[in-house]
């Protein structure tokens, strides 16, 4: 590989790394702001203009707090837990295509370097592997704390992640069948035209995937691992100082990666309507190199717009829905999402036999009709009198 | 029997399929929260912006003077008796010859102290006073203490200054409370 390609690649990786850290940092600020706005408040506004320095103040505070390790805890595992959580969270953004490619001329040859950590043909599997490793961070931390609440939180996290990973994977198989590839870039490139975005061809899969990624990120309404009302602080009850900070931080990085993954899989990644026309015009007017790079930059920004929307959506849902009960969570995962996603795979496969991409709408239509019918059939306000004592 | 008309009969009917799917309810909830997102916030940026607290707000104590500038207080002690927090203490003294311009009646308070840590700003001293001498002003608050010895307010900080008279004419009086050092008199 030529040196300039290597340099560009290194630069891209650094930029992606930096941006994902920056976005995770400011997600903490955004979370508080969004929470405040949804509750008719203003939110943090003391540190810097509009409270923009708040994350730095928070991090400073966390660094200066006592870094406490309980005497009964297993010391090395206790330290390993947050490191693992952070490590796996940061690793998963490597295969997400953030943009098309950067083009530059070298020795009169045009090189295209993908705006992506690394392009591998099993990108989806890689993300799934790393995300399921992520549960080890929680599990190890909770177990090493030697505290029953931490352990309960960790067990909940593990069982919840395992149950929802199945539905997550199954809902994606329909996309893999349509694309015929496990490469995330390939999947993104398949969605070049607006109405072929997977959210339009796979509406049911999208809803299942979205819900499951809420569960995977341990976000409300599925934040049972750190359910304050039942488990004190969940798996990070015993953690303090920056170790706690790393756990919280890795949650936000996970949120960022999930948002990126959702936008790449279902919302066309860096594609936007009329992208080809814009790219053509840019390359014609500004030359193949500058025009292409500018088009890539626009795609990059569009992709980040989508990611930021989904991060906002995560927060929006958090401040809307109450937490599920544990049995409801398991019922939803095993008895509803897994059968539904298998049905989705079957129907999509049957449609693909006849080259029809939109067949999973059939399930949506049938379900809507059934829902409306049951709503119409149901008695308006059947009040069963309460037993009087 | 119903105590209020707000009682709601609990319904334990079977959920319909649409309700079991959660999605209509979820979308409805999201719509409600996003409406609040764009709503005007009622927050007042407190240290920068101060709200008018009303004409009967009970703030900083003041020992009134009469129209000729003589202290009204006669050290009868009714305020100290009325005070539920026992924050007020005073020492009475007899007016000497030549002090008629300073004190309205023959007896006056040589020392009059309010412990602001004990005071609960209930305004009972104001109600008890037969001479209309003690008031809790509506336009000024007792500032935050830094030291313990700042807590007991003597006559130097309680008696109304001649160039800073406190007059509460009617209920439409309006001034926004500010820091005590910055305040001027109000009308």
Q: Transcribe B10-25 into DSSP letters.
A: ---PPPPHHHHT-HHH
**A381: chain B residues, CB-CB within 8 Å:** 11, 13
| Tens of pLDDT, residues B19-57 | 777 888 889 889 989 998 888 888 888 777 777 777 788
**A42: chain B residues, CB-CB within 8 Å:** 41, 43, 45
**Quick check: helix, strand or coil at residue A379?**
coil
Confirm or reject contact between A316 and chain B (CB < 8 A): yes
| Tens of pLDDT, residues A300-328 | 888 889 999 999 999 999 888 888 888 88
Q: Which of B14, B18, B45, B48 to mutate against chain A (most A CBs within 10 Å)?
A: B18
Residue B175's pLDDT band, with cuts at 50, 70 and 90, is low
- How far off is chain A from B52, nearest CA to CA, in Å? 21
| 8 Å CB contact between A358 and A351 | yes
Nearest to A382 among B13, B33, B37 (CB): B13
Please check whether residue B116 lies inside any domain of the structure: yes
B40, closest residue in chain A (CA to CA): A40
Please check whether residue B158 lies inside any domain of the structure: yes
Cis peptide bond upstream of A221, omega within 30 = yes
Alpha carbons A371 and A376: distance in angstroms, whole number: 9
Confirm or reject contact between A52 and chain B (CB < 8 A): no
Alpha carbons A159 and A184: distance in angstroms, whole number: 27
Q: Which two tokens stand for residue B3?
A: 């105590």
φ, ψ of residue B73 to 5 degrees: the values are -65, 135
Q: Transcribe B42-78 into DSSP letters.
A: ----TTTS-----TT---SEEE-B-TTS-B------H
Name the CA radius of gyration of chain A, rounded: 23
> What's residue B179's pLDDT?
47
Parent domain of B83: 61-182
> What's residue B185's pLDDT?
40
Confirm or reject contact between A319 and chain B (CB < 8 A): yes
CB contact under 8 A, B33 and A316: yes
Q: Which of A38, A332, A386 to mutate against chain B (most B CBs within 10 Å)?
A: A38
Name the residue among A131, A367, A207, A88 with its Cα closest to residue B26.
Answer: A207
> What's residue A160's pLDDT?
87
Name the CA radius of gyration of chain B, rounded: 27
Residue A353, CA distances (Å) to A178, A291, A346 in order: 11, 40, 11
- Residue B83 assigned as binding residue: yes
| 8 Å CB contact between A171 and A341 | yes
| 8 Å CB contact between A139 and A77 | no
Alpha carbons A79 and B113: distance in angstroms, whole number: 59
Please check whether residue B13 lies inside any domain of the structure: no
**Quick check: helix, strand or coil at residue B108?**
strand
**B26: chain A residues, CB-CB within 8 Å:** 320-321
Please check whether residue B132 lies inside any domain of the structure: yes
φ, ψ of residue A69 to 5 degrees: the values are -120, 120
| Displacement of CA A27 from its chain's centroid (Å) | 13
Q: Where are the beta strands (DSSP E) in A122-269?
A: none
Domain count, chain B: 1
- How far off is chain B from A43, nearest CA to CA, in Å? 10
Nearest to B37 among A38, A207, A382 (CB): A38
Residue B43, CA distances (Å) to A41, B47, B50 in order: 7, 12, 11
- Residue B34 assigned as binding residue: no
Helix then strand count (H, E) for chain B reads 5, 5
| 8 Å CB contact between A200 and A268 | no
> What's residue B182's pLDDT?
39
Residue A100, CA distances (Å) to A213, A296, B37 in order: 25, 5, 34
Q: Which two tokens stand for residue A343?
A: 């049905």
- How far off is chain A from B36, nearest CA to CA, in Å? 5
Nearest to A42 among B9, B24, B41 (CB): B41
Please check whether residue B65 lies inside any domain of the structure: yes
CB contact under 8 A, B16 and A320: no
| 8 Å CB contact between A102 and A11 | no
Residue carrying the six token digits 């026309």: A277
> What's residue A385's pLDDT?
58
**A317: chain B residues, CB-CB within 8 Å:** 30
Name the residue among A21, A32, A86, A36 with its Cα closest to residue A54.
Answer: A32
CB contact under 8 A, A321 and B18: no
> What's residue A71's pLDDT?
84
**A319: chain B residues, CB-CB within 8 Å:** 33
Q: Quick one: A342 exposed, middle or buried, by C-beta within 10 A (0-12, 13-18, 19+)?
A: middle
- Residue B121 assigned as binding residue: no
CA B119, B123, B128, B129: dihedral to nearest 10 degrees? 90
Q: Which of A214, A324, A371 to mutate against chain B (most B CBs within 10 Å)?
A: A371
- Residue B98 assigned as binding residue: no
**A34: chain B residues, CB-CB within 8 Å:** 37
Name the residue among A13, A53, A375, A94 with its Cα closest to residue A260.
Answer: A94
Segments of chain A scoring below 70 in pLDDT: 1, 379-389
Please check whether residue B129 lies inside any domain of the structure: yes
Residue B119 has pLDDT above 50, yes or no: yes
């Amino acid at each position: 590989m030529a040196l300039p390609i290597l340099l560009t690649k290194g630069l891209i990786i650094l930029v992606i790394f930096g941006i994902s850290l920056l976005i995770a940092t400011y997600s903490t600020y955004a979370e508080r702001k969004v929470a405040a706005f949804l509750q008719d408040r203003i939110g943090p506004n003391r540190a810097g203009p509009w409270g923009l320095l708040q994350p730095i103040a928070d991090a400073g505070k966390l660094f200066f707090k006592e870094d406490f390790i309980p005497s009964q805890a297993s010391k090395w595992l206790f330290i390993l837990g947050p490191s693992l959580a952070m490590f796996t969270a940061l690793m998963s953004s490597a295969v997400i295509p953030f943009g098309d490619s950067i083009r530059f001329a070298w020795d009169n040859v045009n090189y295209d370097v993908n705006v992506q950590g690394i392009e591998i043909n099993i990108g989806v599997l890689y993300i799934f592997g790393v995300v399921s490793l992520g549960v080890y961070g929680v599990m190890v931390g909770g177990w090493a704390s030697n505290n029953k609440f931490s352990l309960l939180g960790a067990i909940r996290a593990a069982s919840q992640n395992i149950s929802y990973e199945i539905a997550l994977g199954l809902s994606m198989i329909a996309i893999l069948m349509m694309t015929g590839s496990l490469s995330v870039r390939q999947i993104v490139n398949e969605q070049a035209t607006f109405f072929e975005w997977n959210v339009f061809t796979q509406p049911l899969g999208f809803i299942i995937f979205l819900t499951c990624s809420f569960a995977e990120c341990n976000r409300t309404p599925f934040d049972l691992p750190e359910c304050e009302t039942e488990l004190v602080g969940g798996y990070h009850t015993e953690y303090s100082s920056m170790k706690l900070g790393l756990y919280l931080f890795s949650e936000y990085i996970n949120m960022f990666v999930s948002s990126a993954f959702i936008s790449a899989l279902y919302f066309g990644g860096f594609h936007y309507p009329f992208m080809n026309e814009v790219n053509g015009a840019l390359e014609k007017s500004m030359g193949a190199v500058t025009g292409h790079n500018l088009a890539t930059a626009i795609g990059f920004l569009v992709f980040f717009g989508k990611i930021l929307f989904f991060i906002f959506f995560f927060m929006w849902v958090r401040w809307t829905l109450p937490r599920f009960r544990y049995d409801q969570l398991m019922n939803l995962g095993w008895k509803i999402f897994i059968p539904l996603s298998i049905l989705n795979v079957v129907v999509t496969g049957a449609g693909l036999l006849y080259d029809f991409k939109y067949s999973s709408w059939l399930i949506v239509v049938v379900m809507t009709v059934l829902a409306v019918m049951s709503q119409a059939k149901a008695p308006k306000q059947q009040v069963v009198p309460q037993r009087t004592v | 029997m119903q105590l209020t008309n707000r009682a709601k009969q609990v319904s334990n009917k079977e959920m319909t399929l649409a309700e079991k799917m959660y999605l209509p309810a979820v979308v409805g909830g999201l719509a409600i929260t996003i409406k609040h997102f764009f709503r005007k916030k009622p927050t007042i940026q407190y240290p920068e912006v101060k709200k008018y607290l009303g004409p009967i707000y009970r703030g900083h104590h003041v020992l009134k003077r009469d129209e000729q500038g003589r202290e009204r207080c006669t050290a009868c002690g009714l305020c100290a008796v009325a005070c539920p927090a026992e924050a007020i203490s005073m020492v009475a003294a007899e007016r000497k010859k030549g002090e008629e311009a300073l004190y309205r009646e023959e007896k006056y308070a040589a020392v009059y102290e309010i412990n602001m840590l004990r005071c609960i700003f209930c305004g009972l001293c104001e109600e008890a006073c037969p001479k209309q001498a003690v008031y809790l002003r509506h336009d000024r608050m007792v500032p935050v203490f830094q030291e313990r010895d700042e807590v007991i307010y003597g006559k130097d900080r309680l008696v109304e200054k001649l160039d800073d008279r406190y007059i509460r004419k009617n209920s439409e009086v309006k001034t926004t409370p500010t820091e005590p050092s910055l305040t001027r008199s109000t009308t």
